[in-house]
Amino acid sequence: MPMGHTATAEAGSGGLTATEHRLANGLRVVLSEDHLTPVAAVCLWYDVGSRHEVEGRTGLAHLFEHLMFQGSKQVHGNGHFELVQGAGGSLNGTTSFERTNYFETMPAHQLELALWLEADRMGSLLAALDDESMENQRDVVKNERRQRYDNVPYGTAFEKLTALAYPEGHPYHHTPIGSMADLDAATLEDARAFFRTYYAPNNAVLSVVGDIDPEQTLAWVEKYFGSIPGHDGKPAPRDGGLPEVIGEQLREVVVAEVPARALMAAYRLPEDGTRACDAADLALTVLGGGESSRLHNRLVRRDRTAVAAGFGLLRLAGAPSLGWLDVKTSGGVEVPVIEAAVDEELARFAAEGPTAEEMERAQAQLEREWLDRLGTVAGRADELCRFAVLFGDPQLALTAVDRVLGITADEVREVAAARLRPDNRAVLVYEPVENGANGANGANGANSATGTAEAAGAAGATEDSDEEEGAEK
């Protein structure tokens, strides 16, 4: 059996524990018992995302996520979906800048099936990967790009802002969806090489959470994953480091068929896993995290110049995080009016910082979000994988809220003063093709945004929603 150690419950973890183990082939395994309901979640994170792609082959990580559902040596075609759903479970996969993950939630007595399925495609996907499956999923991904990005209002906003915020050649300059040209250029051999390089047990973390018997679960993991060979040829990701401040305001105006004018911006913020990043999260929560936030109160309630105003954090571990601002205008309001009000609020916040009441409310909001993530077996499995892959320690997931609650108001003000400045942002302004598209349709514009709004959410981005592409079959 693989060696492991058991974690003890720490302050702030709510009594939750996790045990860590490593197989001889390098696969890290994290187990967390929860006997509240008879279900079990399996989550597998591979340390590969769009930041690992090379020029000319963008979108390959996301394309491969889809290929992972096209069959393996012993599971043909759509069999993975059919077996999991036939057993009463649910499943999917997503791709981000920094990782690709796959997950199933099963009735507890069907846990072995999920483990076998994940191991079979990790160990034998190449046996089933052929031209037919490659062309099938290439078309699926291209159609997904059309439906979610190219042919919807504001659909390419996230892509455009990311390209502005990260310079040409930076590993985060392009988003996981990739370009049509690169998707067309990807070959079957590209996909096979990608699998051989990144889909190895020593480049993955497997978490199992729920109504499990740890000893039996480890026996199944060893049985199905233990014989899969590791691979040592993975290249290190390119350096994502950048200066703390952009140094100028980058700006693009887009004239498009959108229902309302919009102001969107991305601010360069500290990397995830740092105290400064947690302080920035609190700052953006006070400023734009929901209907009690400063920007919502100013723009939507008081001035009535906007129908929606959100500000949130896209956490990134390998590059500066981004603070996403998303404002949809009301009626015929011009964007400069909105921008002036935003800058006024940011300057006031940088000078005064949050009030005690705002700090308490923001910390409570982030604590609730943390509890929501850990409150389900699937959410907890994902968080354990996240902290293991990105920060080397899954136990950090159980105490993440303590670090947020320990941030002071002075730290929040300081990060706002240092980073939420006009010379540290990329700005995207949307102007409707016809001015008459404004007015009563403004509210619909706020609801139909699927680019930045999809990535950042109405109240801002979290790590879990960063430009993820679901394996929707």
Give the separation between CA 467 and CA 160, rounded to whole angstroms. Answer: 13
Tokens of 440: 């009563």
224: Cβ contacts below 8 Å, ≥ 6 apart: 115, 116, 118, 119, 120
- Torsions phi, psi of 152, nearest 5? -130, 150
Pairing of strands 39-46, 248-256: unpaired
From 20, 53, 65, 358, active-site residue: 65
292: Cβ contacts below 8 Å, ≥ 6 apart: 361
**HEC readout, 288-346:** HCCCCCHHHHHHHHHCCCEEEEEEEEECCCCCCEEEEEEEEECECCCHHHHHHHHHHHH
* CA-based end-to-end distance of the chain: 37
Is 189 marked active-site?
A: no
Give the separation between CA 131 and CA 108, rounded to whole angstroms. Answer: 37
- Contact between 18 and 7 (Cβ < 8 Å): yes
The residues assigned a catalytic role are 65
